[in-house]
C-alpha cells in the first residue's frame, strides 16, 4: 500500500465510474471528447442534489476528485447523490475510489450513496477492498493509454449515452 505510485491517484472519480459502464465511453471521456447530452445528465444530478440535500457542504474538490458533499462526524462521510440503481456497481466503485484516495492522503472516510428518488442510502467502506480499487485504477490507465477507443459493445445503456452517434451512426 505505502509503495503504491502517486501517479495512480491522478485519475478522476468519473473515470472509475465509466470503467464499469462502458470502456469505450471511458476512452472518449478521458480524451476530452464531451457531448452536450452528457451535460444534461450532470445537471439533473445537481438538481436532485440541491433539492434533497440542501444545507450540506457540497461539491468539494480534493485534488483530481470532486465529491458531492462531505459531512463531518467521527469520520468523514463522502456522499454521492445518484438518480437510480441501474449503474450501482459503477457508483460503488467511484465511491470506493474516493475513500481509497482520501486514505492515501491520511484521511479516514466512508462513503454513502444517496438515491433520493428511491429514498434509499447505501454505506460503503474500504475494508478489504483496496486491491479491487487498485485493479480498477490500473485498468483505467491501460484504457486511457490506448491510441484508439475499445471496440463498442451495444447494450441498453447506449440509448441514453452521449456518445451514441460516435459508436453507432
Ligand atoms: S454508445 Fe454504447 S458503446 Fe458507445 S460509448 Fe456509449 S455506452 Fe459505450
Return the CATH number at 154: 3.90.320.10
Contact indicator for 4, 104 with CB cutoff of 8 Å: yes
Q: Does residue 1 form part of some domain?
A: no
Q: Does residue 87 form part of some domain?
A: yes
Whether the model clears a pTM of 0.85, i.e. scores above it, the answer is no
Number of structural domains (the chain) is 1
- Domain containing 89 equals 6-168
Distance CA 162, CA 74 (A): 40
Residue by residue, pLDDT tens for the chain (169 residues) are 444 555 556 788 889 999 999 999 999 999 988 775 554 444 444 444 444 443 455 666 666 666 766 766 677 888 888 888 888 899 999 999 989 988 887 888 899 898 888 999 999 999 999 999 999 999 999 999 999 999 999 999 999 899 999 999 8
Mutation test residue for ligand 1: of 161, 162, 165, 168, the one with most atoms within 8 Å of CB: 161
Cα of 73 vs centre of ligand 1, distance in Å, is 39
At residue 71, what are phi and psi to the nearest 5 degrees?
-120, 130
Cα of 165 vs centre of ligand 1, distance in Å, is 9
Amino acid at each position: 500500500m505505502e509503495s503504491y505510485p502517486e501517479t495512480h491517484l491522478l485519475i478522476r472519480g468519473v473515470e472509475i465510474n465509466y470503467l464499469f459502464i462502458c470502456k469505450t465511453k471511458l476512452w472518449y471521456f478521458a480524451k476530452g471528447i464531451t457531448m452536450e447530452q452528457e451535460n444534461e445528465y450532470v445537471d439533473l444530478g445537481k438538481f436532485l442534489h440541491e433539492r434533497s440535500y440542501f444545507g450540506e457542504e457540497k461539491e468539494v474538490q480534493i485534488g483530481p476528485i470532486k465529491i458531492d458533499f462531505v459531512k463531518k462526524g467521527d469520520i468523514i462521510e463522502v456522499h454521492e447523490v445518484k438518480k437510480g440503481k441501474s449503474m450501482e456497481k459503477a457508483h460503488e466503485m467511484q465511491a470506493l475510489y474516493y475513500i481509497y484516495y482520501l486514505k492515501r492522503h491520511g484521511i479516514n472516510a466512508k462513503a454513502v450513496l444517496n438515491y433520493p428518488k428511491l429514498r434509499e442510502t447505501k454505506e460503503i467502506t474500504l475494508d478489504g477492498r483496496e486491491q479491487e480499487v487498485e485493479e480498477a485504477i490500473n485498468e483505467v490507465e491501460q484504457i486511457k493509454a490506448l491510441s484508439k477507443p475499445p471496440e463498442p459493445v451495444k447494450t441498453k445503456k447506449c440509448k441514453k449515452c452521449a456518445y451514441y452517434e460516435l459508436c453507432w451512426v
